[in-house]
Amino acid sequence: MPELPEVENLRRGLEKKVLGQKIKKIIIRRAKLVSGPGNLRVASKKKAKEFIRSLTGETISRMDRRAKNLIFRFKSGKILLAHLKMSGQFIYKDDKPFSIKTPEGKHTHIIFELSKGTLFYNDIRTFGYLLYFPNEQALGKAAPFKDIGSEPLSAEFTPEYFCRALKNKKTNIKALLLGQSAVAGLGNIYTDEALFAARIRPTRLALSLKPKEVNNLYSAIKKILLKTIQLGGSSVDTYRLLDESRGSFAKEHKVYGRAGEKCLRCGSQLISKKIAGRTTVYCPNCQK
């Protein structure tokens, strides 16, 4: 958490608020968050200073998303890549006075003073990261998206592509979808929800799925993601929209977070099992 729908909603919110704004000042309280990806990174004062020096004075010209990554693009060609991981948040305030004495809270680690407002990056677990790249070539050399599959709402994500991505894969379908190589942006919530909608048990090997099942899963992924984006995402744990409001798709969850409750389709008791290190909930009766 957050997954593709939550990040896409943040992208859309940022697009409305920060495009055309100039970064006037940056405060970094946890240098670790701008020092590199991965959980074993070490805080670098040098990288923090480079981050501040390189982005101060830059104007945001575009907001993109790739899988669960936010991409800030600047008029100069510079790039800021943000991955929220488990608990990262962006909060924007139009009228928030810029002062280190008035932060959003103790988990506010990076503050951007913009020409018309303030953007706060909060992260309770501090697994997230914000990385600076001087240009597109530097981003390409770092290759943060090299193992990520097709965007599920893009034109290239076709039934034929999805069938090829699953073909001959000897791993279970839940682990494969979580791994990002077959399709980008799915995490624990929407993988469970899509598999339930397609009536597929998450322990099934990907290569065991019949063509009709693959098509059903393909359709379920697209349908659920579109509806989730429309409803602002699932505000479980710490996720909030840019204005701190909550998405409402959590009310639509059929299996996620409902272990031990009755299946809304057949009435059987939903069960929970660890798959690929994640708690997975499914119906043992109607998911085959």
CATH number of 133's domain? 3.20.190.10
Instruction: Specify whether 135 is located in the same domain as 163.
Output: no
Residue 149 lies in a domain: no
- How many Å apart are CA 111 and CA 101, to the nearest integer? 12
Residue-level pLDDT at 96: 57
- Mark the ranges of the chain whose per-residue pLDDT is less than 70: 1, 96-104
Please check whether residue 153 lies inside any domain of the structure.
no
Based on the fold, state whether residues 94 and 179 are members of the same structural domain: no
- pLDDT of res. 219: 98
Whether 55 and 19 map to the same domain: the answer is yes
Residue 98 is predicted with a pLDDT of 47
Residue 244 lies in a domain: yes
Number of domains the chain is built from: 2
Q: Vertex 239, ends 20 and 275: CA angle to 5°?
A: 125
Same structural domain, 246 and 184: yes
pLDDT at 104: 58
Residue 182 and residue 75 share a domain: no
Which of 79, 31, 26, 71 lies closest to 53 in space, CA to CA?
26
Residues 259 and 221 in one domain: yes
Q: Using an 8 Å Cβ cutoff, are 121 and 110 in contact?
A: yes
| Strand-strand pairing, 88-93 and 108-114 | unpaired
The CATH number linked to 192 is 1.10.8.50
Q: Which helix (H) or strand (E) holds 281?
A: strand 278-282
114 and 185 together in one domain = no
Q: Which residues are part of the catalytic machinery? A: 2-3, 68, 278
Tens-place pLDDT, residues 8-67: 999 999 999 999 999 999 999 999 999 999 878 899 999 999 999 999 999 999 999 999
Domain containing 275: what range? 159-282
- Co-location of 11 and 138 in the same domain: yes
